[in-house]
Chains A and B, each alone.
Chain A
Amino acid sequence: MSERAAPVTTTEEQHDDQEPARDAEESVDADATAEAASETEQQPVTTGAEAVVRALENAGVEHAFGVQGGAIMPVYDALYDSEITHVTMAHEQGASHAADAYGIVSGEPGICLATSGPGATNLVTGLADADMDSDPMVALTGQVPTEFVGNDAFQETDTTGVTTPVTKDNTFSSEPDRVGTDVSEAFALAREGRPGPTLVDLPKDVTNAETDREPDEPAVPHTYEVQEEADREIVDAAAERIENAQRPVMLLGGGVIKGEASEACREFAIEHEIPVVTTMPAIGSFPEDHELSMEMAGMHGTGYANMAITHCDTMLAIGTRFDDRLTGGIETFAPDAEVIHVDIDPAEISKNIHADYPLVGDAETVVDQLSEAVDDSPQITKWRAQCQQWKSDYSMAYDTPDDEPVKPQFVVEALDEATSDNAVVTTGVGQHQMWACQYWTYTEPRTWVSSHGLGTMGYGLPAAIGARFAADDDQEVVCIDGDGSFLMTLQGLSVAVREELDITVAVLNNEYIGMVRQWQDAFFDGRHSASDYGWMPEFDKLAEAFGARGFRIDDYNDVADTIDAALAYDGPSVIDAHIDPQANVYPMVPSGGDNGQFALTEDQL
């Protein structure tokens, strides 16, 4: 690995520092390689493909993830001379997840490339994933030459048609003189306002064609307008509501992290001593070891978080879209609460939960507005005590008798203990993902990388690859995966080995699609239809076959030493952790249920 993006770890200061830091870096680079750069990079563009690559360079892109192919070849040819590091992935789906994770960790759009047809369709899962989670990402797809478009040519699909529902915007780029600007615009759109994935479809004749047109600087189209500041009157009314609240909570959503509002939210919560609940995408926005933190709410959220949101009378919800995994049944969601909803996307206001105080604007700006408007902290000593009581009543814990197979929660806690606070955690989707939420203590934003809205199994490993390129050198990257999830994209190990990426994968292996098995036990009379994965390979040996290091955990005595050894290895390592196959995720709110009625055991479902 050569160089990585500037770290985006915690605070607003660091965020502010980023720009000058990058500028400085660039100017050093520019000085060092002034002549070379001016000769290689500053050549005028001569083809559409060069304009595409120039647009990426202008946008400050350092890494791109993709797979070569027929229709995208001109762009790859232009990349050959570029300073941009291209990471060849083993599958386009991996490219899209890696780009997605890169965007989450760095805050800047991740870039993925694929050829037309199957290359483009393989990106779709990653695009849908990024779209659901509002992650900034740019996909560049090759397309058959324009004269063949619509004729079912070799490796043709209607890529813009296929991806319209799963992108923030997409463009079929038909003009060589315009193609660079299309890419610049896609980049700007991906990160502006509510972030999301954008796609530019690049017909081979357009990228091959001659053009001397330099791309314009990244800018959003004139029809895209973002409101930064919320309406003054509603801010004042909301502030008054907060001052008079008896039982307030702050509900932080993923938008808090994307809007760089974590620090502002921390300050606001701590100044007014308001308990804080997060959604899953917001994990890390508020330190989970802080007294005010109630951690994650929702289907597998903590009991105390769910009690707090159910019983609050005032909810300051920031950057959340009230997904059903958070709200459970709408009828019973925070039924006594007046909702103050801050979101940069007006369409999120009152989509699922009615907003009594709609505040459209940038999360950080609006929280600052609220900070100024709130003069007196609410008098809520009793409420805070109640929240602490819930924390002790429903504390997260599990049994670890020595004679049973290793509990997955124990492995997660041991990994957390063995790594530093700023370690980046990626996951697949399933039981292991929930344990990774529940039993790891997150304290910094952009250290939790997961597939939230779409719930994409197989996300973990390619995400770890993307995260590794975006993370700081001293940040560990740990992928907590499930056996079923890992199996879906483990060809990415070849990439991690080739790039010598320092990644530790811990597969919590219960030889089941565990979450499905849990639901089958609870709701389908224990009929394990197609969820029994007793045929799993030995992942430690598989890792060795790829050229990575393999480890195995079978009992409690192995856990600490194995984790230390895997973390110490300077390259990709895989721990095949054989866990209690019957371990389940609790608390649990059944689908559409009442958050306050979370079950602590199967008997309570």
Chain B
Amino acid sequence: MTRGLDGPSPEERPTPAGRRNKQGIRIDPEIEAKHDPRRTVISVLVEHEPGVLSDVSGLFSRRQFNIESLTVGPTAEDERARITLVVEEPDPGIDQIKKQLRKLLPVIAVRELEPDAMRRELALVKVNAERPDRVAAVADMYDAKTVDSSPETATIEITGARQKIEAAIETLGQFGIREIARTGTTALARGTDDTAVPPTESAATEAKQTQQFTQPADDD
């Protein structure tokens, strides 16, 4: 009665010359845009309410964002808490993380911190201490403190940038490490720069917060 679908077959059709990369960005044949993953710190100001941490961590797991560390603690205001996330993603992924976080209802503000932001973590390292004096000497080199000691062990508290902690742990390794507990990174922007404030409180900060940082964090 009628004909079936016809028309030129696939190989007879014209095809456009262009292509996109995996991130959906049109490839400029001259300079192909490439986005390598980079490590960065995202600070999130949230309503201090039950379930907010699971909202944030659930978002990361179901969207397959790579989360390196997450810390959370109260702020100067009782009803707000700050979550500090370290992530490693290509730029479109980092951008998407920020946008998806902003969609969560308890999230008040989201900001990616500048590479020069102050970032700190804490580690407790329990080592064998047959020679407490040598352990103390190494701890000193890293501005660390001995917070507990026993005839067999010493526990050192180290605070600082990730690299410093890694270095300290490596050096302490010579004594024989029994246990380590580390927090993730927590961070604040420098000087009068606000780390993450609600958009309505500072329009200028918000405008600045949309900028992209291309260099990695400077303590990496």
Contact = CB atoms under 8 A, between A and B. Distances in A.
Given A354-B20, A396-B5, A594 B15 contact: yes
Interface stretch (A208-216, A290-298, A331-339, A559-567): A331-339
Interface string B1-27: 111111111100111111111111110
B7 A596 contact: no
B81 to A, nearest CB: 13
B105 A169 contact: yes
A331 B5 contact: no
Interface in B181-220: 198-199
B106 A223 contact: yes
Contact of A223 (B19, B47, B92): B47
Interface in B78-100: 92, 95-96, 99-100
B162 interface: no
Nearest to B106: A223
A333 B105 contact: no
Nearest to B25: A354
B120 interface: no
Contacts of A397: 2-5
Contacts of B58: 164-165
Interface in A141-193: 160-161, 164-165, 169, 172, 189
Contacts of A269: none
A221 B105 contact: yes
Contacts of B10: 596-599, 604
Nearest to A396: B5
Nearest to B8: A393
Contacts of A604: 9-10
Interface in B9-51: 9-10, 13-26, 47, 50-51
27 contacts: A164-B54, A223-B47, A330-B21, A330-B23, A330-B24, A331-B19, A332-B20, A335-B16, A335-B19, A336-B18, A347-B96, A347-B102, A350-B95, A351-B24, A354-B20, A356-B26, A393-B8, A395-B7, A397-B2, A397-B3, A399-B2, A400-B2, A402-B1, A597-B15, A600-B5, A601-B4, A604-B9
Contacts of A594: 15
A484 to B, nearest CB: 25
B99 to A, nearest CB: 4
Contacts of A399: 1-4
A349 B14 CA distance: 29
B108 interface: yes
A353 B18 CA distance: 14
Contacts of A189: 105
Given A347-B102, A393-B8, A223 B107 contact: yes
A599 B24 CA distance: 24
